[in-house]
A and B are shown apart, each in its own frame.
Chain A
Amino acid sequence: MGNTPPGATSDETDLLLDVRGLTKTFGTLTACDRVDLDIAKGEIHALLGENGAGKSTLVKMLFGTLTPNSGEIRWNGRPVAIRSPGEARRLGIGMVFQHFSLFEALTAAENIALSLDARTPISQIAERARTLSVNYGLPLDPDAHVGDLSVGERQRIEIIRCLLQEPQLIILDEPTSVLTPQEADKLFETLERLRGEGKSILYISHRLEEVQRICDRATVLRHGKVVAHCNPREQTPASLATMMVGSSVHEVKREAAQAATGAVLIEIANLSQPAKTPFAMPLKNISLSVRASEVVGIAGVAGNGQGEFFEAVSGEVRQAAGTIRIRGVDAGLLGISGRRLLGAGFVPEERLGHGAVPGMKLSENMLLARHKSDARAFLRGGALGVIDRSAVEATTQRVIKEMDVRKSAEDPEASALSGGNLQKFIIGRELDRTPSVLVVNQPTWGVDAGAAARIRQALIDLTRNGSAVIVISQDLDELFEISDRIAVMSHGEMSATIPIAEATREKIGLLMGGADEAARAH
Chain B
Amino acid sequence: MRLELVKRPQHSKLFSALSPFIAFALTVIAGAILFALLGKSPTAALYAYFIAPLTEVWSLHELAIKAAPLILIAVGLSVCFLSNNWNIGAEGQFVIGAVTGAMLPILYPALQQSMAAMPLMLVMGALGGAAYAAIPAFLKARFNTNEILTSLMLVYVAQLFLDYLVRGPWRDPAAMNFPQAPRFTGYAVLPEMMPMDGRANAGIIFAVVAAVLVWLLLNRMLKGFEVKVIGMSPRAGRFAGFSTTRMIFFSFLLSGALAGLAGISEVAGAIGRLQPSISPGYGFAAIIVAFLGRLNPLGIIAAGLLLALTYLGGEAAQISVGVSDKVVRALQGLLLFFVLACDTLIHYRIRFVSAVRDATEAKGNV
Contacts and interface: CB of A to CB of B under 8 A. Distances in A.
Given A335-B241, A387-B225, A68 B364 contact: yes
B364 A348 contact: no
Nearest to A350: B235
Interface string B99-140: 000000000000000000000000000000000000000000
| Interface class of chain B by DSSP | helix
B213 to A, nearest CB: 11
Nearest to B349: A27
Contacts of B33: none
Nearest to B6: A27
A262 interface: no
A71 interface: yes
Contacts of B9: 27, 408, 412, 416
A357 B238 CA distance: 11
Given A357-B236, A416-B9, A372 B364 contact: no
Interface in A30-71: 67-71
Nearest to B234: A353
Interface string B327-346: 00000000000000000000
B361 interface: yes
A355 B240 contact: no
B361 A336 contact: no
Contacts of B361: 69-70
Interface in A364-381: 364, 367-369, 371-372, 379, 381
A381 B220 CA distance: 11
8 contacts: A67-B365, A68-B364, A70-B364, A316-B238, A336-B239, A340-B241, A371-B222, A387-B220
B9 to A, nearest CB: 5
Contacts of B240: 336, 368-369, 371
Given A336-B241, A367-B222, A369-B239, 19 more contacts: A26-B6, A27-B9, A70-B364, A314-B239, A346-B239, A350-B235, A359-B11, A359-B232, A369-B240, A371-B240, A384-B221, A385-B221, A386-B221, A387-B220, A387-B221, A408-B9, A408-B10, A413-B10, A416-B10
Nearest to A340: B241
B241 A353 contact: no
A387 B222 contact: yes
Contact of B233 (A69, A346, A357, A386): A357
B222 A385 contact: yes
Interface residues of A, number: 45
Contacts of B222: 367, 371, 379, 385-387
A368 B236 contact: yes
B98 interface: no
Given A385-B222, A386-B220, A368 B229 contact: yes
A386 B232 CA distance: 21
B148 to A, nearest CB: 23
Interface of A: 26-27, 67-72, 79-81, 314, 316, 335-337, 340, 346, 348, 350, 353-360, 364, 367-369, 371-372, 379, 381, 384-387, 408-409, 412-413, 416
A405 B326 CA distance: 56
B364 A354 contact: no
A348 B220 contact: no
A371 B240 CA distance: 8
A519 to B, nearest CB: 32
A17 to B, nearest CB: 16
Nearest to B220: A386
Contacts of A71: 364
B15 to A, nearest CB: 15
Nearest to A316: B238
Interface in B309-327: none
Nearest to B239: A354
Nearest to A81: B365
Nearest to A369: B240
Closest 10 CB pairs of A and B: A337-B241, A385-B222, A70-B364, A81-B365, A357-B233, A336-B241, A368-B240, A357-B236, A354-B235, A353-B233
B228 interface: yes
A385 B221 CA distance: 5
A341 B362 CA distance: 59
Given A27-B6, A335-B241, A336-B241, A353 B235 contact: yes
Contacts of A350: 235
A364 B225 contact: yes
Contacts of B225: 364, 367, 371, 387
Contact of B229 (A67, A72, A360): A360
Interface in B202-243: 220-223, 225, 228-229, 232-233, 235-236, 238-241
B1 interface: no
Given A68-B365, A69-B361, A81-B366, A355 B221 contact: no
> By CB atoms of chain A within 10 A, which of B11, B235, B366 has the most?
B235
Interface string B1-41: 00000100111000000000000000000000000000000
Contacts of A358: 232-233
Most chain B CB within a 10 A radius of its CB, from A371, A379, A381, A408: A371
Contacts of B236: 353-357, 368
Interface string B172-184: 0000000000000
A337 to B, nearest CB: 3
Nearest to A354: B235
A408 B9 CA distance: 9
B95 to A, nearest CB: 32
B10 A412 contact: yes
A371 B71 CA distance: 31
A385 B10 contact: no
A356 B233 CA distance: 9
Nearest to B8: A27
B5 to A, nearest CB: 12
A385 B241 contact: no
Contacts of A385: 221-223
A350 B234 CA distance: 13
Contacts of A381: 221
Contacts of B229: 357, 360, 368
A409 B10 contact: yes
Given A371-B225, A416-B10, A355 B239 contact: yes
B99 to A, nearest CB: 32
Contacts of A354: 233, 235-236, 239
